Structure formats: C-alpha cells, structure tokens
Amino acid sequence: MKKKRYFNKKNILYLSLISSITFSCSLYYKRYLPDYLIHSIVIFLVILFFYFSFLLNKYKKQHNFIKSISIIISICLFISSIMIFNHNDKLSKDGIYIGIDISKWNEQVDLQLAIQEIDYVIIRCGYTSSTDGTKTIEDPYFKKNIRQCEELSIPYGIYYYSLARDNIQAKKEALFVNSLLKDKTPDLGVFIDLEDEEFQGNLSNDTLSSIAINFLENIPNYNKKGIYANHHWWTTKLTDNKLNTYIKWKARYNDTPTIEKDYHILQYSETGKIKGVIGDVDLNMISNKYW
C-alpha cells in the first residue's frame, strides 16, 4: 500500500511539473518570451531541487517535506504561467482592450516589449506640411512600425494628420495614404486626424464634414474607416450625422476614462508609460473588439 501511495504522489508531482513546463516553454509565443524564460529557469531549478533530494539517501526523512514544497511551488508556477499566457484575454474579459498610437514623436519603439502590455497599435503613416498646408509627408517611422506589427502579429490601424481645407486637398491626402499602404488592410482601419486649429479651425461644420467624408471615401472600400478628433471638435464641429457611419476615435482625458455612446475608441491619456516606448505615449481603450 505504501508503495502504491508513493507512486500516486510521484505521478501528481510529475503532472504538475510537466504542465508547468508545457506552459512555460511555449517560447514561440513571442510577446511573452521574457516571462516564459524566467518561469522556465525557476521551474528547472525546482526540478533539480526535487531530483537532487532523491539522489541523497541520507536525507530520506526530508523527502516528503521536499516533495510537498516542490509540488506547491510547481502549482504556483503553473497558475502564474496561465495568468501570463492569458494576459490579453484578461483585458478582453473585462471588456477593455488597451492600445497605443505612435508616430515620429515617439522615435524608436520596441513593440516586442510593448506588446506585453497592449492589444493593438495605431500608427501615424504621414502628415501634411504646415509650411504650405499641401505637401504630403510620410512619417519617418511608419515603415518600421508597421513592419514590427506584421512580424509580431499585432493588430494595427493607421492615421493621417490632415490639414485639408477643401475636398481637393482631402483627396490628395487620401491618395497619398493609399500609396503608402500598397494594398495593405490595417485591422483597426484607416483614420483621418482632423483637428488642426490653425488650418481648419475657421472652417464651417459642413466643410469639415465634407473633407472627412471625401478623404475616407477615397480609401479602398475593403478598409475600415474612421475619424480622430478631440472632444471639443467632436461636440462643436464634427456634428454631422453623416459621420456616424465611420469609426469614431475621440481624445478626452478624464480621471475616470469612459467610452461614451456612439464612440468606438477613446484616447484617454497622453502621458502613458509602456515597455519599449521611451517617454510618454498616448493610451487608447476599446470596449468592443471590432477588428
């Protein structure tokens, strides 16, 4: 009987260790690689600790204690491995998906590190020069950022900072975006950033609405399409019901961020701290996963 009981305990320990190793050694899942390496090292030490005790017969009396400690540690590691593996799933269960939007102002961003804390990225692809209000310019970090997203399988969207004052310039900006995308289809969509007070602040609501629609309708129909603006612009300028057919991305910084009805994405901070990003970064939340 004693032998049988011992055999069962041994199997339980093996099961715990093997389960922990299975989760911890899933190194192909790139976004959690650093966490899994740490877990793998700790679990390896636990295994050595366990087997080393059996090699030393003179410590026979301590076997049960050592086995018990090994099992407890293994189970704890097993649970924490699941928590790490399901990091983003936890966000999903809470109904909130966290992301960042980046541009040249963030300089070199290491998304391999950032993805441990976020679910998606929105990348600035370009902007219109404020020197003349017509020249379209590619964001110098656009290609690198989009390549990182593709390599790491990170859902991404893109946005263009517009200075358009009429439909001609809006179309020009849209065609420029198309040339940068080269038939790529961003998961979260293509956005026009419409909020420049200097170039567009004195335009009528109808004109602004027309600019937004003209820009977005010149983006291929297989792309999701949206508009980014701050709270003031959404409530005083971008009020046309025609804009309701697009994804609405609002910037509003409150102590208690809440996605308001009729809006899809909330930029709730411009001073976020995320691994892989030097300095402050814009943080966004989505409550309903649409990509």
Domain end (from 39, 57, 85): 85
Residues 124 and 69 occupy one common structural domain: no
Q: Kindly state whether residue 200 falls inside one of the protein's structural domains.
A: yes
Position 90 scores a pLDDT of: 38
Reading the block at residue 258, the tokens are 């809440």
Across the range 38-46, mean pLDDT stands at 60
Reading the block at residue 199, the tokens are 């170039």
Query: Which one has a higher pLDDT value, 61 or 272?
Result: 272
Across the range 110-117, mean pLDDT stands at 93
H-state helical runs in the chain = 2-24, 33-55, 63-85, 87-93, 111-114, 142-152, 167-181, 197-200, 205-217, 231-236
Please provide the average confidence, as pLDDT, over all residues in the chain. Answer: 83
Q: Kindly state whether residue 291 falls inside one of the protein's structural domains.
A: no
Residues 151 and 32 occupy one common structural domain: no
Position 95 scores a pLDDT of: 76
Q: With contact defined as beta carbons under 8 Å apart, do 189 and 223 qualify?
A: yes
pLDDT bin (cut points 50, 70, 90) of residue 53 is low
Q: Which domain holds residue 49?
A: 2-85
Q: Kindly state whether residue 90 falls inside one of the protein's structural domains.
A: no
Domain end (from 85, 113, 145): 85
Across the range 202-225, mean pLDDT stands at 97
Residues 218 and 78 occupy one common structural domain: no
Q: Kindly state whether residue 162 falls inside one of the protein's structural domains.
A: yes
Residues 252 and 201 occupy one common structural domain: yes
Query: Which one has a higher pLDDT value, 58 or 139?
Result: 139
Residues 195 and 251 occupy one common structural domain: yes
Across the range 109-137, mean pLDDT stands at 96
Residues 188 and 127 occupy one common structural domain: yes
Residues 267 and 213 occupy one common structural domain: yes
Q: What is the DSSP string of 27-64?
A: TTSGGGHHHHHHHHHHHHHHHHHHHHHHH-GGGGGGHH
CATH code of the domain covering residue 257: 3.20.20.80
Position 29 scores a pLDDT of: 44
Residues 180 and 263 occupy one common structural domain: yes
**Residue among 118, 162, 121, 161 at smallest CA distance from 144:** 121
Domain end (from 46, 63, 85): 85
Residues 226 and 254 occupy one common structural domain: yes
Residues 81 and 99 occupy one common structural domain: no
For the chain, how many structural domains are there in total? Answer: 2
- Those residues whose C-beta lies under 8 Å from the C-beta of residue 175, and which sit 6 or more positions away, are 218
Distance of CA 206 to the CA centre of its chain: 34
pLDDT, tens only, 80-101: 555 555 544 434 446 789 999 9
Residues 112 and 23 occupy one common structural domain: no
Residues 191 and 233 occupy one common structural domain: yes
Helix (H) or strand (E) holding 104: none
pLDDT at position 249 over 70: yes
What does the alpha-carbon distance between residue 88 and residue 50 come to, in Å, rounded to a whole number? 33
pLDDT at position 60 over 90: no
Q: Kindly state whether residue 220 falls inside one of the protein's structural domains.
A: yes
Q: Kindly state whether residue 274 falls inside one of the protein's structural domains.
A: yes
Q: Kindly state whether residue 17 falls inside one of the protein's structural domains.
A: yes
Q: Kindly state whether residue 119 falls inside one of the protein's structural domains.
A: yes
Across the range 96-124, mean pLDDT stands at 95
The answer to which of 145-149, 244-248, 253-257 has the lowest mean pLDDT is 253-257
pLDDT, tens only, 157-192: 999 999 999 999 999 999 999 999 998 999 999 999
